[in-house]
C-alpha cells in the first residue's frame, strides 16, 4: 500500500525536486509546435523555480508568447529498478519574466550556486530571468503511486485514480 500521509508525501516531493540542479522544460510555440529543453534553476524565497534564459533560445520565445510550461524532474535511469516506473515530478506552471529590478537577489543566489558561468551570462544582453508558478502537477513514485499536487510548496491532494 503506498504511503498515504499527505505531509510526508509533500516532503518527499520537495526532497526529490531539491536533488536536482536543473529542470526539463516543455513549452509550445504560438503555432503549437512542442519543444523541450532544460535549464539550471534555483528556488526563490516563495519556493518558485527560477531560470535564467537566453532570448535567442526557442523555449524563451515560446514562454514569452505562451507562458504555460511543464517542468519535469526524473530519476536517472541507472537509479531506477524499472524504466517504466521511474520516479518523477511533473509540474504544470505559468512562467513570468522577472523585471530586472526584482531579479538581482535571485541572480546573486544563482551566481553563488553556479559560479563564473552565471557571472558571464549576466554580462550578456540577451538573458532574462523567469519565475515559474506551479498550478498543479503529479508526483509519481512508481506503479499505482501517482499523487496529484498543487502550488509552489507541492501540496499533495490525492492519489490519482487514472
Triad 82, 78, 7: Cα angle to 5°: 70
Is pLDDT at 78 greater than 80 in this prediction? yes
Per-residue confidence (pLDDT) for residue 110, from 0 to 100: 94
Contact 49, 69 (CB under 8 A): no
Place of cell 550556486: 113
pTM for the structure as a whole: 0.92
Cα–Cα distance, 95 to 83 (Å, whole number):
30
Question: Is residue 2's pLDDT more than 90?
Answer: no
Rg of the chain taking only CA atoms, in angstroms: 16
Topology adopted by domain 6-159: Pnp Oxidase; Chain A (2.30.110)
Angle at 150 between CA 45 and CA 74, to 5 degrees: 85
> Whole-angstrom Cα distance, residue 27 to residue 60?
9
pLDDT at 18: 97
Mean residue pLDDT across the chain: 93
Average pLDDT of the segment spanning 142-151 = 94
| Of 65, 39, 36, nearest in space to 51 by CA | 39
pLDDT band at residue 1 under the 50/70/90 scheme: very low
Please tell me the predicted confidence (pLDDT) of residue 122.
85
Band (pLDDT 50/70/90 cuts) for residue 161 is confident
Is the pLDDT at 34 greater than 50? The verdict is yes
Q: What is the mean pLDDT of residues 88-108?
A: 94
Residue 162 has pLDDT above 70, yes or no: no
Amino acid at each position: 500500500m503506498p504511503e498515504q500521509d499527505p505531509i510526508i508525501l509533500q516532503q518527499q516531493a520537495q526532497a526529490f525536486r531539491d536533488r536536482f540542479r536543473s529542470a526539463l522544460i516543455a513549452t509550445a510555440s504560438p503555432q503549437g509546435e512542442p519543444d523541450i529543453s532544460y535549464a539550471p534553476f534555483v528556488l526563490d524565497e516563495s519556493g518558485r523555480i527560477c531560470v535564467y534564459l537566453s532570448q535567442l533560445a526557442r523555449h524563451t520565445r515560446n514562454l514569452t508568447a505562451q507562458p504555460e510550461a511543464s517542468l519535469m524532474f526524473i530519476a536517472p535511469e541507472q537509479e531506477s529498478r524499472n524504466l517504466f516506473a521511474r520516479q518523477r515530478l511533473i509540474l504544470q506552471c505559468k512562467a513570468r519574466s522577472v523585471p530586472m529590478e526584482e531579479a538581482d537577489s535571485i541572480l546573486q543566489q544563482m551566481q553563488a550556486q553556479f559560479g563564473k558561468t552565471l557571472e558571464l551570462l549576466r554580462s550578456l544582453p540577451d538573458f532574462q530571468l523567469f519565475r515559474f508558478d506551479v498550478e498543479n502537477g503529479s508526483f509519481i513514485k512508481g506503479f499505482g503511486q501517482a499523487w496529484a499536487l498543487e502550488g509552489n510548496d507541492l501540496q499533495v491532494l490525492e492519489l490519482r485514480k487514472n
